[in-house]
Chains A and B, each alone.
Chain A
Amino acid sequence: MTDASDRLTHDLFNGARSRRDMLKLLGIAGAAGLLGGPLLSGRAQAAAKHFTWGTNADYARPEFLAPFLKASGIEVQTSLFADPSEIITKLQSGGAGVELLTDGSYHAQITYDAGVLKPIDTSKLKNWSKLIPGFDKAAGMIYDGKTYGVPYAWGTDSMVYNHGIVGQDVDDLAILFDKEFAGRIAMPNGLFESVVVAALYLGIKTPFAMDKDQLDAVAEVLIKQKPLVRSYWNDIGDLKNLMATGEVAVCWGWQPLLEIRKYDVDVRWTHPKQGELAWYDAAFLTRDANAESEAACLAFIDYLLGEQYGAMIGKDIGYRTTSTAAIATMDGKLVDSLDLAKPDAFLKNAVWWTSPTNPAGYQAVWDKVLNA
């Protein structure tokens, strides 16, 4: 890769690029994508007729997968999870039967260390060139010089609140720790996310590389918060339920939560002054993939980076695609609503979420909080 793309990789994950830079890069990559060939390559003809994708329920909605089946004849079977570790445990013990796995910036290092991944030959991906520049060299995707993951969606996790109950606009994480909302707060259970959120609240500059003192401080604040928390949610469906039924007024949540607006629940996304967590999800080949299923998986990864999938997840669940080809097909209003034309502004206060440097230490803190 060139120095320019190296610089972009750095910029992408430091939120330092300008809108003009971003648009320029989107344009270049889009043009490259248009020259990149058809949606699916001939390789799909030699691929297995089905494979299993370990992912979360939102990514694998039947309507998102149907165009791929129609175009390729390959059926995507799914093994759904709330936390990628669930699949990793099965892959480690053998016989999981999951050939393609969704994991992300927040967890990829842990998955790689578990030894369950296979490198991806990106030269076989027709749509590789359609990636928004920078994502092709994103941290957490490349190990020992080989690419293991292909990012296909990105966004932020942040604080969400029910305006009808809270009654005011909010941009301060302090509300998650406020006694006024005792019993109406929800925090995430998985991926050490609550630990990282508490670190943001405490103003810790290195939330993914905390030392013992910082971890102790985080444990203390989370244990103090615990009596105020209604529930530690396990998956996004669980959280949607909590917010839609009015059990919870404010939470740390994920983008698909905003879907409950269609039930007239006035939930609002925030950009907290202390920061939010930017992430990307990627497709990883697992060691369960054989030559045939690997070909089918690569065809599907091409589909994830193509025109249709990214547009659909943007429209239906509010996730941002990494595909310039998909962005080019999207309605201007949708592009604006997802801040895809000016991601730098959207990511102004965001920190890129990476695997913690000391997962055992983070887990110990979270166990301590749950056991308290």
Chain B
Amino acid sequence: MRFSRYPLITGGPWLLLLLTFFVLPIAGLLLLSLSPGNGSAAAFPTLDNYRGILDLASGRPQVLARTLGVALGVVLLATLIALPVAYYLAKGVRSTRLQALVLMLVTVTFLVGPLIRTVSWRGILGVKGLINTALTSSGLLDAPIMALLYGRPAVIAAMTYNSFPFMLFTLFLAMRTIDDRYLVAARDLGASANATFWRIVMPLAAPGLCVGAVLVFVPTLSTVLEPEMLGGTSGRLTTTEIRDQFFHALNWPLGSALTVLLIVAGGLAVGLLAALLALFARACGRVGLSLGSGGGR
């Protein structure tokens, strides 16, 4: 059997890039996480940082669980908001120009940058924000609702707002590529609009849903802006602690260990999310789902 050098030549630069910018930093992070942290008398290598993080009394496992929970909640909300919009846009709007215009309008708001988009929520949810002003000036409430801002609901709202276009675009593209004849055939065979959506559209759009979920989940898991700007005292997530350990406490080993654990936990969560979505699609259409071959077509 003749050995071909072609794959090595074409893939070599990419492998080198991967090694330089992914494998080596991760290896460095792992080694650093095994170094003694601030105030520790242990010698390298030590698992002290991991023990400290996994100690329930430190509150960090709970914060990690909260971080994953918030990210999953954002995926769920983004899906609920994006799904009807994407479906209507893909199958209800016939004009390609109108579709492009709507998607462009969504995109335009994202030209202002995440900081402005996040801070603007203060103007909406604050004591003197739009919602509270409307409620108090109309006489519906005597005093503003303090809980709107500086809490987890505000964080989740802003994170959803900041990430839902990823879900919208992927779902829209997935739904747009579904052949309209499938939908017509389903209706001809007596399926209701509901049944057509759940048993035809959803299973076929499942790969888009899965990609959108990952695109929403991963950045949400690693953001510090929303919890810091809007989270108040309940805004502590693992990402904000990683930032604090690196930039405030100067405890790089502990920050590295937290990062490694977040990568592992996030990876597991992504796998779980993909499996759940596959099950969901299967349950919807009973047609099976093959993410690798175009979604059960």
Contact assessment for B250 and A110 in the assembled complex, using a CB-CB cutoff below 8 Å: yes
Contact assessment for A247 and B250 in the assembled complex, using a CB-CB cutoff below 8 Å: no
CB of A55 closer than 8 Å to a CB of B? no
**A229 touches which one: B62, B233, B249 (CB < 8 A)?**
B233
62-85 of chain A: CB within 8 A of chain B: 83, 85
**A370 touches which one: B126, B149, B236, B246 (CB < 8 A)?**
B236
239-278 of chain A: CB within 8 A of chain B: 241, 245-247
Contact assessment for B63 and A85 in the assembled complex, using a CB-CB cutoff below 8 Å: no
Q: Interface stretch among A22-30, A330-338, A359-367?
A: A359-367
CB of A127 closer than 8 Å to a CB of B? no
CB of A89 closer than 8 Å to a CB of B? yes
Contact assessment for A371 and B60 in the assembled complex, using a CB-CB cutoff below 8 Å: yes
Shortest Cβ distance from A184 into B: residue = B146
Most buried by B among A86, A88, A368, A371: A371
CB of B150 closer than 8 Å to a CB of A? yes
Contact assessment for A367 and B58 in the assembled complex, using a CB-CB cutoff below 8 Å: yes
**B62 touches which one: A246, A359, A371 (CB < 8 A)?**
A371
If A85-B250, A234-B228 touch, whether A371 touches B126 (CB-CB below 8 Å) is no
> Bound state CA distance, A241 and B119, in angstroms?
11
CB of B247 closer than 8 Å to a CB of A? yes
CB of B136 closer than 8 Å to a CB of A? no
**B236 touches which one: A85, A183, A247, A371 (CB < 8 A)?**
A371
CB of B282 closer than 8 Å to a CB of A? no
On chain B, which size bracket covers the interface? 20 to 34
**A246 touches which one: B58, B128, B251 (CB < 8 A)?**
B128
> Bound state CA distance, A226 and B236, in angstroms?
12
Residues from chain B with Cβ under 8 Å of A234 in the complex: 228
Residues from chain A with Cβ under 8 Å of B228 in the complex: 234
Contact assessment for A363 and B38 in the assembled complex, using a CB-CB cutoff below 8 Å: yes
342-372 of chain A: CB within 8 A of chain B: 358-361, 363-364, 367-368, 370-372
Contact assessment for B58 and A368 in the assembled complex, using a CB-CB cutoff below 8 Å: yes
> How many cross-chain pairs have Cβ atoms below 8 Å apart between A and B?
76
CB of B241 closer than 8 Å to a CB of A? yes
Chain A window 208-248, contacts with chain B (Cβ cutoff 8 Å), 1 for yes, 0 for no: 00000000000000000011011110100000010001110
CB of A119 closer than 8 Å to a CB of B? no
CB of B7 closer than 8 Å to a CB of A? no
Contact assessment for A361 and B39 in the assembled complex, using a CB-CB cutoff below 8 Å: yes
CB of B248 closer than 8 Å to a CB of A? yes
CB of B127 closer than 8 Å to a CB of A? yes
**B127 touches which one: A85, A89, A246, A368 (CB < 8 A)?**
A246
If A83-B248, A371-B63 touch, whether A245 touches B126 (CB-CB below 8 Å) is yes
Shortest Cβ distance from B248 into A: residue = A85
CB of A190 closer than 8 Å to a CB of B? yes
> Bound state CA distance, A114 and B247, in angstroms?
13
> Bound state CA distance, A190 and B240, in angstroms?
13
> Bound state CA distance, A86 and B58, in angstroms?
24
Contact assessment for B247 and A372 in the assembled complex, using a CB-CB cutoff below 8 Å: no
Report the minimal beta-carbon distance from B71 to chain A, rounded to whole angstroms. 18
> Bound state CA distance, A360 and B253, in angstroms?
13
Contact assessment for B38 and A89 in the assembled complex, using a CB-CB cutoff below 8 Å: no
Contact assessment for A363 and B127 in the assembled complex, using a CB-CB cutoff below 8 Å: no
If A360-B38, A368-B59, A370-B241 touch, whether A230 touches B236 (CB-CB below 8 Å) is no
Residues from chain B with Cβ under 8 Å of A364 in the complex: 39
CB of B271 closer than 8 Å to a CB of A? no
On chain A, which size bracket covers the interface? 20 to 34
Contact assessment for A363 and B58 in the assembled complex, using a CB-CB cutoff below 8 Å: no
Contact assessment for B60 and A359 in the assembled complex, using a CB-CB cutoff below 8 Å: no
Residues from chain B with Cβ under 8 Å of A370 in the complex: 233, 236, 241, 244
Contact assessment for A86 and B248 in the assembled complex, using a CB-CB cutoff below 8 Å: yes
Contact assessment for B246 and A245 in the assembled complex, using a CB-CB cutoff below 8 Å: no
Contact assessment for B246 and A89 in the assembled complex, using a CB-CB cutoff below 8 Å: yes
Residues from chain B with Cβ under 8 Å of A89 in the complex: 246-247, 250, 252
Contact assessment for A371 and B146 in the assembled complex, using a CB-CB cutoff below 8 Å: no
> Bound state CA distance, A234 and B248, in angstroms?
11
**B59 touches which one: A85, A190, A371 (CB < 8 A)?**
A371
Report the minimal beta-carbon distance from A179 to chain B, rounded to whole angstroms. 14
271-306 of chain A: CB within 8 A of chain B: none
Contact assessment for B127 and A247 in the assembled complex, using a CB-CB cutoff below 8 Å: yes
Most buried by A among B128, B233, B241, B249: B233
Contact assessment for A190 and B250 in the assembled complex, using a CB-CB cutoff below 8 Å: no
103-132 of chain B: CB within 8 A of chain A: 122, 126-128
Report the minimal beta-carbon distance from B240 to chain A, rounded to whole angstroms. 8
Contact assessment for A371 and B241 in the assembled complex, using a CB-CB cutoff below 8 Å: yes
Shortest Cβ distance from B232 into A: residue = A231
Residues from chain B with Cβ under 8 Å of A92 in the complex: 250
> Bound state CA distance, A364 and B251, in angstroms?
11
Report the minimal beta-carbon distance from B160 to chain A, rounded to whole angstroms. 21
> Bound state CA distance, A368 and B232, in angstroms?
16
Residues from chain A with Cβ under 8 Å of B233 in the complex: 226-227, 229-232, 370
Shortest Cβ distance from B255 into A: residue = A89
If A83-B248, A85-B249, A363-B38 touch, whether A245 touches B127 (CB-CB below 8 Å) is yes
Shortest Cβ distance from A361 into B: residue = B39
237-281 of chain B: CB within 8 A of chain A: 241, 244, 246-252
Shortest Cβ distance from B250 into A: residue = A85
Residues from chain A with Cβ under 8 Å of B146 in the complex: 183, 230
Most buried by B among A92, A230, A246, A361: A230
> Bound state CA distance, A230 and B151, in angstroms?
9
> Bound state CA distance, A168 and B127, in angstroms?
22
Contact assessment for A83 and B247 in the assembled complex, using a CB-CB cutoff below 8 Å: yes
List 6 other contacts, CB 8 Å, given A230-B146, A247-B149, A360-B37.
Answer: A114-B250, A226-B233, A246-B128, A358-B39, A363-B38, A367-B249
Q: 11 interchain pairs (CB within 8 A)? A: A85-B249, A88-B250, A110-B250, A227-B233, A232-B232, A232-B233, A246-B128, A247-B126, A247-B149, A360-B39, A363-B38
The 9 A-B residue pairs with the shortest CB-CB distance, nearest first, are A360-B39, A371-B59, A360-B38, A363-B249, A231-B232, A86-B247, A370-B236, A183-B146, A85-B248
